[in-house]
Amino acid sequence: MTADHRDIILIGYSGHALVIFEILTSQGFQPVAYMAPKSEENRYLNLPYWGWEQDQNSISRLMENGYFVAIGNNKIREQVSHYVYDMIHFHPVKAIARSAHISPSSQIDPGCVVGAGAIIQPGCSVGIGSIINTGAQIDHECQIHKFVHIGPGSVLCGNVSIGDGTFIGAGSTIIPGVTIGRRAIVGAGSVVLHDVPDGVKIAGNPARILP
């Protein structure tokens, strides 16, 4: 595959894939097929099924096209992304909505989604395979690690750090300087005032650890 290849295979075919399809087409990419463990129906998409990404024939097709892992679940997206990269040794494209604002001084890694109306301010980094969903606001110098999901309408104030695989629910607010660990879950609408350890679930205003 050449670096400027515009034909894209979607890996995944859920509602999240529908969003990715529209973002990629707005960027000038052409989704040509999808892959999944089995053939699925999506009434809003009309793409041919090209098998499961773990089948040898499907792997050969991935090597001839660009691809994007269009899976919303952080853990599954990470597993599939690692598998595909190990097999074909090149990264997915980025899906950046035309209405998103990204500071030129911020770094967005391959396989990331930046949704419609999202804002990423100066000095930020967004790790591979992360989702910055619709209308999320990421303020200056935030560090978002790999395979994170920042939910729609969430606000990360300055100098926030989000660990690998963490999920931030829709409409949450993280105050400046907070560090949230790896594979944590922040419930929708939470207001996070303090650092959060690895692997915990928190929710509320102010957010507290759930049993």
**Residue whose tokens read 């499961």:** 52
CATH code (residue 114):
2.160.10.10
- Least Cα distance to 12 among 115, 60, 84 occurs for 84
Which range marks the domain in which residue 23 is found? 7-93
Query: What are the catalytic residues?
Result: 140
Whether 81 and 167 map to the same domain: the answer is: no
Structural domain contains residue 188: yes
- Structural domain count of the chain: 2
Q: What are phi and psi of 208, to 5 degrees?
A: -130, 155
Structural domain contains residue 1: no
Per-residue pLDDT of 138-158, as tens digits, reads 999 999 999 999 999 999 999
Residues 6+ apart with CB under 8 A from 147: 74, 75, 77, 78, 81, 127, 128, 129, 130, 164, 165
Last residue of a domain, one of 93, 110, 142: 93
**Residue 202 has what pLDDT?**
98
Structural domain contains residue 211: no
> What one-character DSSP code corresponds to residue 46?
-
Residue ranges of the chain whose pLDDT lies below 70: 1-5
Cα 65–chain centre separation: 20
Look at the pTM and tell me if it is higher than 0.75.
yes
**Residue 6 has what pLDDT?**
87
Q: CA torsion 76→189→17→181, rounded to 10°?
A: -30
The CA distance from 112 to 210, in Å, is 29
Whether 19 and 76 map to the same domain: the answer is: yes
Structural domain contains residue 141: yes
Last residue of a domain, one of 72, 93, 114: 93
